[in-house]
Amino acid sequence: MSTISAAYFACFGFVDNTGFLATDIVIECCFFLDIVLNFLLQYKDDEHKPVRDLKRIAVRYLKKLFIVDFLATIPLRYMNLVSDEKDERLFFLLKLFRLYKLKEVMDTKNFQDMVKSVFRRRLQSIIRNESKQKESNVDNNKIMLQIKIMYIFRVLRLIVTILILSYFLGTLWFIFSKRTTFGPDDFTFYNYYGLKDREDSENLIIVVYFAFTTLSTVGFGDYNPKSEAERIVTTFILLIGVACFSYIMG
């Protein structure tokens, strides 16, 4: 949630609203608490043995993800490091470092282990209860059902991944196009489609739609890059889309 709002604020500026400000403070406090807990919680080593030594836990966290979590949590925009409000917005992009946490939620192996655990408990319940036992030719493990569940999960993961990528690439595209437009006569995406004269919500729909059609390699053509720099960036977006489809479905 914080990364979604951060990308929006980086594009269009912070919403001056008490509710947004309070929510932002609460979320930042939660992530700060997460940093503290990462110095205290045990982990499993390469041999799958729990490590409870605080020094080893701290060293491991400092070497791996501490700098990422720190940069995503430190409130740089409140420190008045830059005078231009438009440049200050870019500090919100540091919160995008938190996207790596989605990997754990959407990891296929973790989900598969969870599904197997559920069906394993079901099978053990059947073994313990003779009244629930059926004929020997019945698949109590529900192997085909597990395969179908994993297939549905992969499809849903692809859809969610494409939507998430479309949103963040769309917002980054808006920032890039706007910042590479130096005058009203420049032939850019920002000028050609009149994004300056549109509402923020309408601009968000346009850039997310553009990113989605580009990522999915459909490319309807109603929105497309204009300048040479934009074409180069779009090439990389297309490559990301192909890699994303191949990785998730493969």
- Which pLDDT value is given to residue 190? 92
Last residue of a domain, one of 78, 100, 122: 100
3-state secondary structure of 87: helix
- Structural domain total, the chain: 2
Neighbours of 211 (CB within 10 A): 26
Q: Token digits for 233?
A: 């960036």
pTM (2 d.p.): 0.77
* Per-residue pLDDT at 122 exceeds 80: no
The verdict on 94 and 187 lying in the same domain is: no
Task: With respect to residue 211, please indicate whether it lies within any of the assigned structural domains.
Answer: yes
Task: With respect to residue 57, please indicate whether it lies within any of the assigned structural domains.
Answer: yes
What confidence tens digit (pLDDT) does each residue in 192-219 have? 999 988 998 899 999 999 998 888 777 7
Owner of token pair 């998430």 = 164
With bands split at pLDDT 50, 70 and 90, how would you rate the model's confidence at 250?
A: low
Domain that holds residue 89: 1-100
The verdict on 171 and 93 lying in the same domain is: no
Q: Mean of the pLDDT values across residues 87-93?
A: 78
- Which pLDDT value is given to residue 87? 73
What confidence tens digit (pLDDT) does each residue in 30-44 have? 888 989 999 988 888
Please report, as a single letter, which amino acid is at residue 150: M
End-to-end CA distance of the chain: 29
**Domain at 169, CATH number:** 1.10.287.70
Task: With respect to residue 109, please indicate whether it lies within any of the assigned structural domains.
Answer: no
The verdict on 23 and 88 lying in the same domain is: yes
d(C-alpha 81, C-alpha 173), whole Å: 24
- Which pLDDT value is given to residue 107? 77
**What are the residues whose beta carbons fall under 8 Å from the beta carbon of 172, sequence distance 6 or more?**
7, 93
- Which pLDDT value is given to residue 174? 93
**What are the residues whose beta carbons fall under 8 Å from the beta carbon of 39, sequence distance 6 or more?**
54, 57, 58, 61
What confidence tens digit (pLDDT) does each residue in 128-138 have? 766 555 554 55
* Per-residue pLDDT at 17 exceeds 90: no
The verdict on 4 and 94 lying in the same domain is: yes
Task: With respect to residue 250, please indicate whether it lies within any of the assigned structural domains.
Answer: yes
